[in-house]
Amino acid sequence: MHAQIIPIDGVVRDAPPASPAPAAPAGPAVAHEPAPAAPKRQPNRERNRRVALTLLLPMLTFLGVLALWSGLRATVAPELPTPTETWDHARTVLADPFYENGPNDMGIGWQLLYSLARVAAGFGLAALVGIPLGFLMGRSANMQRAFEPLIQILRPVSPLAWLPIGLLVFKAVDPSAIFVIFITCIWPMILNTAAGVKAIPQDYLNVAAVLKLGRVEMMRRILFPATLPYVVTGMRLSLGVAWMVIVAAEMLTGGIGIGFWVWDEWNNLYVPSIILAIVLIGGVGIALDLIMGAIQSRLDYTKR
């Protein structure tokens, strides 16, 4: 008798409706109730309004900034270029971003790519060191005790303070800049990874224990996937800061790179370039963050 009821019924009753299964968001279910045509159009219009405001309000803000800029130029800061001057300059610079007239005169695209390459190198090295160290600290109380004070002391220090040490040790500017980025990136990576390992629910560890997973399997099947969202968050944070720090570091080290380009243009007293650089650096920063955000939401099992 059971056998006839349960297979059909048991499955049906378990199925999503009554339960808070994340796969079926609450939104549509609510929308069903005030069914008729009139209320259904309402949300649509509401949405259009929201989209319009989302586009319009930031444009107003940007216009406000342009107005402020023009106003400042007209009154207290006549050295500033006008927005039109800057725009014209931007068009010539961006028209040929990858020209090469010897090592001291390269397109803006090259400048950005050189900076990105330094960030990538420092970021990658920091991941290689920081993530394993974070795992060790998360797993072992003694590792935590051993490293925590050191990290807490060094973490608030501006990474640029390490630049002289880098120059001293490496006796070259490029490795020094990469070293600064490495220092920038490593703290958030260590701390987030360690936090992620410590946040693994005891349940998962019990599952691993009952299955008698070995060390490697435990790492591969439980610890690593469970911690991954935290690791990526740490990487995202550190990449954001690294992109800020590289500009300052390159101003000090020189060479090809967007930071030194800004400094060079300042020495030429060519301000439109600096304004253009600010906008470009911001754009690249957004792009980096979007990429990391996409990776993050792909890997975060709690959001699926």
Partner 1 sequence: MKAYLDLEAIGIVFPTARGPFRALQDINLKVNQGEFISLIGHSGCGKSTVLNIVAGLLDATEGLCLLKDKEVKGPGPDRAVVFQNHSLLPWLTVYQNVRLGVDKVMADKPKTERHDWVLHNLKLVHMEHAAEKRPGEISGGMKQRVGIARALAMQPDVLLMDEPFGALDALTRAHLQDSVMEIQAELGNTVLMITHDVDEAVLLSDRIVMMTNGPAATIGEILAVDLPRPRDRLQLAHEPRYHALRSQVLEFLYNRQMRPKEAA
Using CB under 8 A, list all residues that contact partner 1: 1-3, 5-7, 9-11, 13-16, 18-19, 21-23, 201, 203-204, 206-207, 209-213, 221-222, 225-226, 228, 301-302, 304
Q: Are 238 and 185 in contact (CB under 8 A)?
A: yes
Q: How many whole angstroms separate alpha carbon 294 and alpha carbon 196?
A: 19
Question: Residue 17 CB, nearest distance to partner 1 (Å)?
Answer: 9
Nearer to partner 1, 33 or 203 (CB): 203
Nearer to partner 1, 197 or 246 (CB): 197
Nearer to partner 1, 21 or 169 (CB): 21
Q: Are 136 and 227 in contact (CB under 8 A)?
A: no
Q: Count CB-CB contacts under 10 A for residue 144.
A: 15
Residue type, 112: L
Question: Residue 97 CB, nearest distance to partner 1 (Å)?
Answer: 41
Which of 244, 259, 242 is closest to 112 using CA atoms? Answer: 259
Q: How many whole angstroms separate alpha carbon 185 and alpha carbon 182?
A: 5
Total residues belonging to the chain: 304
Question: Residue 13 CB, nearest distance to partner 1 (Å)?
Answer: 6
Q: How many whole angstroms separate alpha carbon 14 and alpha carbon 162?
A: 59
Question: Residue 223 CB, nearest distance to partner 1 (Å)?
Answer: 11
> What is the CA 199 to chain-centroid distance, rounded?
22
**Phi (first) and psi of residue 213, to 5 degrees:** -70, 140
Question: Residue 290 CB, nearest distance to partner 1 (Å)?
Answer: 23
Nearer to partner 1, 10 or 58 (CB): 10
Nearer to partner 1, 28 or 103 (CB): 28
Question: Residue 26 CB, nearest distance to partner 1 (Å)?
Answer: 14
Nearer to partner 1, 10 or 34 (CB): 10
